[in-house]
Amino acid sequence: MNIISQTTAFGGMQGVFTHESDACKCDMTFAVFVPPKAIKEPCPVVWYLSGLTCTHANVVEKGEYRRMAAELGLIIVCPDTSPRGNDVPDELTNWQMGKGAGFYLDATEEPWSEHYQMYTYIAEELPAYVSQHFRMDMTRQGIFGHSMGGHGAMTIALKNPDRFKSCSAFAPIVEPCTADWSAPAFEKYLGRDRASWRKYDACALVSDGARFPEFLIDQGKADGFLENGLRPWLFEDAVKNTDIKVTLRMHERYDHSYYFISTFMDDHMRWHAERLA
């Protein structure tokens, strides 16, 4: 593990690191905040997945999570959103595809399949790796994210209910199979057979029998992507007649930015801490 930076914050340590990923076949960057409580004992870990065009740095610099994470004793891990490097395929003029737009899935189509194995990276490789280097209680894990990362968090939780005890999302893409900004990427990553897309779609996963106890979703009503991309009400419809509980909070005047995320970050930190206690 290569150390890019380590900085003290709220008595804990905010670090940024790189390592060589077998899944993505390139060096991957991730950030970890370790609270002061971890000096004495293993702490629960919460994974934060960022959105389209982002890296680990967006939430690290603008998410304002460290004070509450330190108070609650939570380790926060913030991976990158896609593989990076000169050998990694990209679409330079398309922000919804390629670098920064991994969609937390395992691509099956060329030229994407060699590097874009983000589901395996997030769900398997990175947890196994970071747990060797930080004092984490891997029996207490939560996951959340923003936009594309909210989509990733919800689908990963639904597919791994025995591993995660909590899940929340800021403005998630809940039905990427039909959303304007994700369906074209899904076709390129996964091919034209839409049946293969369903395992990366929260609404489809619930329809196909996947279950997770409860979700917290915060959504701004002034979000420019609300109607064509996010549509959280579709997930409310999907969980009807199931035992899945959804708390969907719609907020007047809030948009898709980190001003919105940072406003409600403390609520999400507490949500996870209560369920990971």
Q: Say how many Å lie between the first and final Cα of the chain, rounded.
A: 30
Contact 275, 166 (CB under 8 A): yes
* Single-letter amino acid, residue 168: S
Residues linked to residue 31 through DSSP beta bridges, in sequence order: 16, 78
- Domain count for the chain: 1
Please state, in angstroms and rounded to a whole number, the distance separating the CA atoms of residues 68 and 23.
Answer: 32
Domain with 269, as residue range(s), is 2-276
Please state, in angstroms and rounded to a whole number, the distance separating the CA atoms of residues 99 and 200.
Answer: 18
The CATH code of the domain that includes 146 is 3.40.50.1820
Q: Which of 206, 267, 195 is nearest to 234 (CA)?
A: 206
Pairing between β-strand 43-49 and β-strand 136-146 as defined by DSSP bridges: parallel
Residue that the structure tokens 């909070």 belong to: 249
Q: How many other CB atoms are there within 10 angstroms of residue 51's CB atom? A: 26
Q: Which residues are catalytic?
A: 147, 223, 256
Please state, in angstroms and rounded to a whole number, the distance separating the CA atoms of residues 202 and 183.
Answer: 14
Q: What is the pLDDT of residue 129?
A: 98
Please state, in angstroms and rounded to a whole number, the distance separating the CA atoms of residues 224 and 206.
Answer: 26
- CA distances from residue 94 to 89, 91, 220 in whole angstroms, order as listed: 12, 5, 25
Residues linked to residue 77 through DSSP beta bridges, in sequence order: 32, 47
Please state, in angstroms and rounded to a whole number, the distance separating the CA atoms of residues 96 and 184.
Answer: 9
**pTM above threshold 0.85:** yes
pLDDT tens per residue across all 277 residues of the chain: 999 999 999 999 999 999 999 999 999 999 999 999 999 999 999 999 999 999 999 999 999 999 999 999 999 999 999 999 999 999 999 999 999 999 999 999 999 999 999 999 999 999 999 999 999 999 999 999 999 999 999 999 999 999 999 999 999 999 999 998 899 999 999 999 999 999 999 999 999 999 999 999 999 999 999 999 999 999 999 999 999 999 999 999 999 999 999 999 999 999 999 999 9
Q: Which of 223, 207, 190 is nearest to 155 (CA)?
A: 207
Q: What is the pLDDT of residue 80?
A: 98
Contact 135, 42 (CB under 8 A): yes
Residues sharing a CB contact under 8 Å with residue 274, sequence separation 6 or more, in sequence order: none
Q: What is the pLDDT of residue 181?
A: 84
Residue that the structure tokens 């409600």 belong to: 264
